């Protein structure tokens, strides 16, 4: 495969050309005195941030917390394919642009999330031929990268492509795009993204690798297999995004987790924690012991994680319990049997800092200082 030449030109020749203007780069705020999470992270050469949805921009108390704690912002839904292009050729940038503007006005960096994900493919793509789907995917990746070229430092190019339970020898998830285009569409997405914005750091992002369970171990093997294959083929993947949707009550082994991070770093990749939160279903209903259990797990996880020099950022999937996919209960594994409201994030519903916030702060304070960013 030619990384930026014939393959990309052939794919883009089938696609509708983009017309969006590039945006100026963002500046990450420097470390400053005080107790904010990003200031603590920046003092160690790290970044801290959170996911945000456009519909929450009007909440003054939440925005104050973002300004106090976040130097990095991720669009929760607004940059996903189905949100950007619900009808073929009808690109809707407004909601995502609002988040980009908020980040710029508040001197926050941006992570892009996510270009290719089986759960965010627009419905109209399934009506296309293989050739048409290949062209649509190429156009989507190119136009989206071009829209915010220079404004987004890291992009999640491919999300959750590994599924050991699907039984493929390459460990990949059996998705519509995989069945239609084959596994090469993963590498192609990275090549097109790199050609569209050569300065952006490109990430593979996935979940379910953090705990000392047979399920997590198999997922780690699958993810390492994919990353090794991409790197060996010269695919421009620079970062592993570890979602870190932690589960209280599941075992966590420091040595096992550190070994996995070292294996990733040995590939020449940096690592970012991209969607940190905690499923507290196994903890008591009372808020105090529940919050203590969540904080203990987060502190143990981050202490080991931040000891790996290749780790460069921590992003929580939201800041407050009042806005969380765990609270929405979309997955049965998130629903508490006692029907108590989940408490998965650093702030409670009233925007008061919880023990989880203190655990993150303490882990950042204890983290070793990073040298210059690699890769």
Q: Catalytic residue numbers?
A: 275
Whether the bond between 114 and the residue before it is cis, its omega within 30 degrees of 0, is yes
Q: 159 pairs with which residues across the strands?
A: 117, 205
| Structure-block tokens of residue 156 | 């999640």
**Rounded CA separation 178/192 (Å):** 17
Please state at what angle helix 214-232 crosses helix 254-266, rounded to 10 degrees: 10
Please state at what angle helix 130-147 crosses helix 6-13, rounded to 10 degrees: 100
SS3 251: coil
Cα atoms found within 13 Å of the Cα of residue 328, Cβ hemisphere only: 7
Handedness of CA 15, 140, 169, 202 (dihedral sign): positive
**Rounded CA separation 277/242 (Å):** 12
Cα atoms found within 13 Å of the Cα of residue 334, Cβ hemisphere only: 16
**Rounded CA separation 347/198 (Å):** 37
C-alpha angle 294/296/302, rounded to 5°? 100
**Residue 278: CB partners within 8 Å, gap ≥ 6?**
246, 247, 248, 294, 297, 298, 344, 356
Q: Can you state the percent helix, strand and coil of the chain, rounding each to 5?
A: 45, 15, 40
Q: 240 pairs with which residues across the strands?
A: 204, 271
**Rounded CA separation 251/94 (Å):** 43
Q: Which helix (H) or strand (E) holds 40?
A: helix 37-42
**Rounded CA separation 222/364 (Å):** 30
**Rounded CA separation 342/231 (Å):** 39
DSSP state of 201: E
């Amino acid at each position: 495969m030619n990384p930026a030449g014939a393959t990309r030109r052939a794919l883009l020749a089938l696609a509708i050309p983009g017309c969006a203007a590039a945006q100026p780069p963002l500046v990450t705020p420097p470390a400053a005195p005080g107790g904010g999470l990003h200031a603590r992270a920046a003092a160690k050469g790290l970044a801290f941030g959170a996911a945000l949805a456009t519909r929450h921009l009007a909440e003054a108390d939440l925005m104050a917390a973002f300004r106090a704690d976040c130097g990095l912002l991720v669009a929760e839904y607004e940059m996903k394919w189905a949100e950007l292009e619900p009808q073929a050729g009808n690109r809707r940038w407004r909601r995502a642009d609002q988040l980009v503007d908020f980040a710029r006005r508040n001197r926050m960096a941006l992570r892009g999330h996510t270009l290719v994900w089986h759960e965010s493919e627009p419905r109209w793509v399934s009506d296309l031929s293989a050739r048409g789907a290949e062209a649509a995917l190429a156009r989507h990746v190119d136009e989206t990268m071009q829209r915010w070229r220079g404004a987004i430092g890291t992009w999640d190019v491919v999300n959750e492509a590994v599924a050991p339970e699907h039984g493929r020898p390459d460990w990949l998830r059996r998705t519509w795009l995989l069945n239609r285009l084959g596994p090469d569409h993963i590498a192609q997405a990275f090549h097109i993204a790199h050609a569209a914005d050569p300065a952006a750091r490109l990430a593979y992002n996935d979940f379910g690798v953090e705990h000392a369970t047979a399920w997590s171990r198999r997922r780690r093997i699958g993810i390492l297999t994919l990353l090794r294959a991409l790197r060996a083929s010269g695919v421009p993947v620079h970062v592993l995004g570890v979602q870190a949707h932690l589960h209280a009550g599941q075992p966590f082994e420091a040595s096992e987790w550190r070994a996995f991070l070292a294996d990733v770093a040995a590939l020449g990749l940096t690592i970012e924690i991209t969607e940190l939160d905690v499923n507290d279903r196994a903890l008591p209903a009372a808020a105090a012991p529940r919050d203590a259990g969540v904080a203990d797990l987060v502190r143990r996880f981050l202490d080991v994680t931040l000891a790996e020099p290749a780790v460069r950022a921590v992003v929580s999937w939201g800041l407050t319990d009042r806005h969380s996919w765990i609270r929405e209960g979309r997955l049965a594994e998130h629903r508490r049997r006692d029907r108590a409201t989940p408490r998965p994030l650093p702030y409670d519903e009233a925007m008061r800092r919880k023990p989880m916030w203190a655990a993150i702060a303490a882990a950042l304070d204890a983290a070793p200082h990073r040298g210059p960013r690699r890769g």
